[in-house]
Amino acid sequence: MKTIGLLKNTVQEYEWGSHTAIPELLGQPASGKPQAELWMGTHPCAPSMVRHQGGWIPLSRLIEKYPQEMLGQSVKKKYQNKLPYLFKVLAAVKPLSLQAHPSIKQAKEGFEKENRLGTPIGAPNRNYKDNNHKPECICALTPFWALNGFRKIHDIIYLLTKICPKGLKEELRELKKYTDPFGLKYFFNALMTMNKKKKNRMIVEALGNAKAFSKKNHIFKWIIKLHSEYPYDMGILSPALLNLIRLKPGQAMFLSEGVLHAHLEGVGIELMANSDNVLRGGLTPKHIDVQELLNVLHFEEIEVTILKPKKINNCERVFLAPAEEFLLSIIEIKKGINFSSPENRSIEIIFCTAGSATIYDVDGDKEVDLFKGTSVVIPSVINKYMINGNATLFKAAVPI
């Protein structure tokens, strides 16, 4: 394939999704069901379709058929003829599960183990859907609330002492003795394996105290809100354990392997390695495997870096996230300011979030009109392309 291809993508309907955000972005009527994610890529759960020779063909099949033209030599070789990233729009009105992603070594071992055990890929108790890791970067389109990594241990002790001094008296005493990753792991394990009777008493105490402090602190507001969605789930304490983040539109953050996190509310553009491996710890009716989660988690304190895009030319800004598989950037064009691609590039997917534009191959005669909600794939074989109009676009690429 040697032309720019229009994409048709799958919308994933999960119960935590928005009824309106993705339909409005796509210019489509609401379906009446919560629409949580729009997937752009080749993941077998929902591969994008490409307009090709008058019909529609899965992007994965085009890459299998023309790996050199689509990916370019270096990406073709490094990623064994596969697209290394998955591009998404995420729209949450309810919190996603408290979760972490495995390293690539853990993913390969877990995937092979569950295959040997004969656990079906679609089984609800399956932990590993593929053999890849899942570093990810999310950029806010609206104000976006999230949890990202364990906060400082002395802050955890302070916050939990305020809301459940009786229910967690013994556990907090031990954490005060061992304020290191070992102590934090021991403490977290105690929370996750607590018997139901003690857990329920502790949560009642935590809720009562959180309400007293909630007017002045978003941490306690979120504890109350999480309980309204997932009553008596241990995950409701996660805002006191993890860094509570509010991204402004245009800001982003990176999530690496082994980091406990949850997206709480908002609409964002998400780019990640091509994987669907999730180990859950709470805030979900789905499968939770505490022991496997403990094996995957990193228990170091984290200070979250808010990513602001770095300007690389007159209309493109890039988020410098530490990932080998992907690079996320924002392209903003207007009258008199057009985008011109570099010649040294691999396969790219572009998604339009506002306005309208035209993208065209400089050396060919192919051009595609871009409107809010449309997306295209640009094969590596296209030496140079340009975009003009008045639009905001997000670009997924592979670092070269």
Identify any residues that bridge with 86 across adjacent strands, giving them in sequence order: 272
Per-residue pLDDT at 324: 93
Identify any residues that bridge with 92 across adjacent strands, giving them in sequence order: 17, 266
Torsion angles phi and psi, residue 147, rounded to 5 = -115, 140
Tokens of 42: 């080749």
CB 333 within 8 A of CB 387: yes
Q: What pLDDT band is residue 220 in, cutting at 50, 70 and 90?
A: very high
* Axis-axis angle for helices 218-229, 153-163 (nearest 10): 70
Per-residue pLDDT at 193: 95
pLDDT digits (tens, 9 = 90+) for 147-200: 999 999 999 999 999 999 999 999 999 999 999 999 999 999 999 999 999 999
- Report how far residue 14's alpha carbon sits from residue 33's, in angstroms, rounded to the nearest whole number: 9
Per-residue pLDDT at 93: 97
**Strand, helix or coil for residue 358:** strand
Q: What pLDDT band is residue 369 in, cutting at 50, 70 and 90?
A: very high
Question: Is residue 217 exposed (0-12), middle (13-18) or buried (19+ Cβ within 10 Å)?
Answer: middle
Per-residue pLDDT at 165: 96
Burial 241-250 (b: 16+ CB within 10 A, else e): bbbbbebeee
Fold classification of 152-242 is: Phosphomannose Isomerase; domain 2 (1.10.441)
DSSP conformation letters of 229-279: HSTT-GGGGHHHHEEEEEEPTT-EEEE-TT--EEEEEEEEEEEEES----E
Question: Is residue 316 exposed (0-12), middle (13-18) or buried (19+ Cβ within 10 Å)?
Answer: buried
Per-residue pLDDT at 61: 95
Identify any residues that bridge with 378 across adjacent strands, giving them in sequence order: 348
- Report how far residue 362's alpha carbon sits from residue 342's, in angstroms, rounded to the nearest whole number: 12
What distance, in Å, lies between the first and last C-alpha atoms of the chain? 21
Per-residue pLDDT at 366: 81
Question: Residue 23 region, left (φ>0) first, then alpha (ψ -120 to 50), else beta?
Answer: alpha
Closest CA to 132 of 258, 277, 259, 271: 277
Q: Which residues, including other chains, have CB under 8 Å from residue 124's CB and lie 6 or more apart?
A: 286, 287
Residue 1 reports pLDDT greater than 80? no
- Report how far residue 123's alpha carbon sits from residue 133's, in angstroms, rounded to the nearest whole number: 20
Share of the chain above pLDDT 90, in %: 90
Q: In CATH terms, are 152-242 and 310-397 the same topology? A: no
Per-residue pLDDT at 317: 97
Closest CA to 158 of 138, 140, 179, 182: 179
Establish whether 280 is a catalytic residue: yes
Tokens of 149: 């990594």
Q: What pLDDT band is residue 53 in, cutting at 50, 70 and 90?
A: confident
Share of the chain above pLDDT 70, in %: 100
Please name the amino acid found at residue 3.
T
Question: How large is the average pLDDT for residues 88-100?
Answer: 96
Domain assignments of the chain as residue spans, ordered by start: 7-147+247-285, 152-242, 310-397
Instruction: Count CA atoms within 13 Å of residue 113 on its CB side.
Output: 10
Per-residue pLDDT at 336: 87
Residue 229 reports pLDDT greater than 80? yes
Handedness of CA 38, 17, 275, 44 (dihedral sign): negative
pLDDT digits (tens, 9 = 90+) for 308-346: 999 999 999 999 999 999 999 999 999 889 999 988 899
Fold classification of 7-147+247-285 is: Jelly Rolls (2.60.120)
**Strand, helix or coil for residue 13:** coil
Question: How large is the average pLDDT for residues 209-236?
Answer: 94
Rounded to the nearest integer, the mean pLDDT of the chain is: 95
Torsion angles phi and psi, residue 301, rounded to 5 = -65, 145
Helix (H) or strand (E) holding 202: helix 196-213
Per-residue pLDDT at 354: 97
Please name the amino acid found at residue 365.
D
DSSP conformation letters of 43-88: -TTS--EEEETTEEEEHHHHHHHSHHHHH-HHHHHHTTTS--EEEE
CATH tag, 310-397: 2.60.120.10
Question: How large is the average pLDDT for residues 37-42?
Answer: 97
Per-residue pLDDT at 301: 96
Predicted structure pTM score:
0.93
| Active-site choice (51, 126, 151, 280) | 280
pLDDT digits (tens, 9 = 90+) for 259-317: 999 999 999 999 999 888 999 999 998 899 999 999 999 999 999 999 999 999 999 99
Q: What pLDDT band is residue 2 in, cutting at 50, 70 and 90?
A: confident
